[in-house]
Structure 1
Amino acid sequence: MNFELYQRVALKRDLPANQLKKDDVAILIDFVPHPSSGEDGCVLEVFNATGESIAVVIVPKSDIKSLTKDEVLSVRSLVEI
């Protein structure tokens, strides 16, 4: 799949160290080559519901997916109850 810089993407897996979950939305801000010929990575910036940046993460390209017009955004709390 071809991705473009600054497009919205969704995570395909949980990132517990960053309190991020599968299907959380992020902005793709850069591509990074793998240092030893593995899968290239993507730098993502994640924002909270009010637009504040809350995380910058690097994931393999296979860990993101494009958003589609038949999907709806939702809100979840970062604080576990």
Structure 2
Amino acid sequence: MTMELDREVSLTRELPEYGLRAGNIATLVDFVPHPSNGEEGCVLEIFNAIGESLTEIAVPISAIETLRSDEILAVRTLAKVS
């Protein structure tokens, strides 16, 4: 699986600390090494449905996957993080 920067990817797991769910879409911004030789990470930019940037987050690379042609997009309200 080749992942390219500035491409949309989907989350493979829930990230409740950010109000995000598996299947949400993000843009891959950068790859980052783990500080103690663990799993490589990546920086994602999260956008709302009308294209406004909400935040950037860092996650393990295993938390994302490339988009596939058999997937469709959906809209939901962003959960408030408390």
CA contact 2:47–2:53 (8 Å) conserved in 1: yes
Once superposed, which parts of structure 1, at least 4 consecutive aligned residues long, lie more than 2 Å away? none
Q: Unpaired runs of 5+ in structure 2? A: none
Counterpart mapping for 1:18-57 below 5 A: 18-57=18-57
Post-superposition CA distance 1:19-77 (Å, at most 9, x none): 11110000000000011111110100010001111121101001101100111011001
Higher relative contact order (CA 8 A, sep 6+): 2
How many residue pairs get matched? Answer: 80
Indicate the percent of aligned positions where both proteins have the same amino acid. Answer: 52
CA contact 1:47–1:53 (8 Å) conserved in 2: yes
TM, length-normalised to structure 1:
0.93
Q: Unpaired runs of 5+ in structure 1? A: none
CA contact 2:9–2:66 (8 Å) conserved in 1: yes
Q: Post-superposition shift, 1:2?
A: 2.1
| Residue number in structure 2 paired with 1:69 | 69
Residue 62 of structure 2 aligns to a residue whose secondary structure is helix
| Residue number in structure 2 paired with 1:6 | 6
Query: Distance in 1 between the 2:79 and 2:10 partners?
Result: 20
TM, length-normalised to structure 2:
0.92
Amino acid at match of 1:45: E
Amino acid at match of 2:38: G
Residue 69 of structure 2 aligns to a residue whose secondary structure is coil
